[in-house]
Amino acid sequence: MPTRSRQTRFCAVRYDLSLVKASLPGRPSMFDSLTSQGTLYLNPFTDPLHGTAPIRHADAYVEFPGYVVMVYSMEKSQALVNTAIWSLTGGILGLSALIASSVWHAIGRALHPVEAIRVEFAELTAHHLDRRITPPPKGNEVGRLAATMNFTLDTLQTAIDRHRQFVADASHELRTPLATLRFTLELALTKPHLTDLDRTVRDAHNDTVRLENLTDDLLLLARLDIEDAGRPVHKTADLADLVRDEAARRRPPPHLAVEVRISSGLFTVSGRPALLGRLLGNLLDNAERHANSTITIALTRDTRRHEAVVDVVNDGPVIPAEDHERIFDRFTRLDHSRARDTGDREGSGLGLAIARRVASAHHGTITVNPSPAGAHFVLRIPLHDH
């Protein structure tokens, strides 16, 4: 039994002697009225010797006759609990620190290629678009990000190169008629006696009309470039009426004949009539510029593809196969011998470019069909679903 001077926590268990006496010989005694006077704490700061729980002494129950008082010290048990709790706490903190360090290191390694891509991309300017992002060696998500950025840079560089070329060509095209107009007017002012006034006014008028047409074409292309090609068009147009109107509006030279062929049925398409009329007009202008004697415009239906098909054929020179796509570039002109009549009928090199851009805005296409004689343009536009 512990002495009275030792302050410790005890677990006191009382056993009723009458129950022990009543137990049968050779069988375990059945004890009830079992009470615990001490507790273990999960608070590791509990002092087993000076805790807040009541302290039990060895002779605490001598006033209860008929009972055997068994007193057990809980000091070691509480110390074990404290040690286990401290160990568990330290283990959790250490494991958390290890996991945090591992995650930090892993994220740093994963984001290092992203930071390298950011640094390279930040160094790019409009004057250094030929540079590309160096993809990481592993073909993971970061590698696909670099590939996508390089593809975007390729598209951006192509657009900027085309814009620069377009500005240079536009400047040249505008400068030429302006210089001619200025020279004609200055000559008329400085030497009026050597100037044919009627011819001077006629030439100035032709140059002014050419400048006006060129300016309109440039503005139209600029507007088409900034418009969203994927935006739905809520207007509809009858392509058959547009073909008839454009053919009737023609004033071709006497040696040219325009033949119109329109199949039966509805040819309603989604789009803006003004732009579609401009598209057809540009195709017919090109045909007039190069035809020898005949221009044929035919409107048919492709039932399988649910498209309206416009064929514009002229009997002029054959377009070489290598130029089938180039002629749709802006300010592109083929051999000048194809332009029979210059003057106010000379093309600016924007007509077919505008036609293809308008067709693309209406989800259509313009192509050149191989032809043994003459030029054959094919316009395809989806029919409107009724």
In a shared domain, residues 217 and 292: no
In a domain, 130, yes or no: no
Using the 3D structure, point to which of 157, 191, 226 is the last residue of a domain.
226
In a shared domain, residues 248 and 187: no
Angle, helices 197-226/351-361, rounded to nearest 10 degrees: 30
pLDDT for 134 equals: 78
In a shared domain, residues 220 and 240: no
In a shared domain, residues 357 and 277: yes
Please choose, from the candidates 288, 311, 286, the residue with its C-alpha nearest in 3D space to the C-alpha of residue 299.
311
Distance between CA atoms of residues 256 and 365, nearest Å: 27
In a domain, 20, yes or no: yes
In a shared domain, residues 248 and 372: yes
**Mean pLDDT highest for which of 49-53, 288-292, 365-369?**
365-369
Under the banding of pLDDT at 50, 70 and 90, the label for residue 299 is very high
Q: Where are the beta strands (DSSP E) in the chain?
A: 10-16, 67-73, 236-238, 257-262, 268-270, 294-302, 307-314, 365-369, 375-382
* Amino acid, single-letter form, for residue 300: T
Mean pLDDT on 273-293: 90
- Look at the chain and count its residues: 386
CATH of the domain at 276: 3.30.565.10
pLDDT for 296 equals: 93
SS3 301: strand
CB 11, CB 57: distance < 8 Å? no
Distance between CA atoms of residues 252 and 79, nearest Å: 112
Identify the weakest region by mean pLDDT among 12-21, 131-140, 295-304.
12-21
In a shared domain, residues 221 and 252: no
pLDDT for 194 equals: 77
In a domain, 131, yes or no: no
In a shared domain, residues 219 and 243: no
Please choose, from the candidates 269, 271, 279, 274, the residue with its C-alpha nearest in 3D space to the C-alpha of residue 302.
269
Domain count, the chain: 3
Mean pLDDT on 336-348: 46
In a domain, 156, yes or no: yes
In a shared domain, residues 198 and 294: no
In a domain, 135, yes or no: no
In a shared domain, residues 259 and 342: yes
Q: Exposed, middle or buried, 139 (CB in 10 Å: 0-12/13-18/19+)?
A: exposed
In a domain, 126, yes or no: no
In a shared domain, residues 267 and 360: yes
In a domain, 128, yes or no: no
pTM for the whole thing? 0.58
SS3 311: strand
Q: Is the pLDDT of residue 55 over 50?
A: no
Cα torsion 304, 310, 311, 317: sign: negative
In a shared domain, residues 200 and 275: no
Six-digit token pair at 203?
Answer: 């030439």
Supply the range of the domain harboring residue 261. 236-382
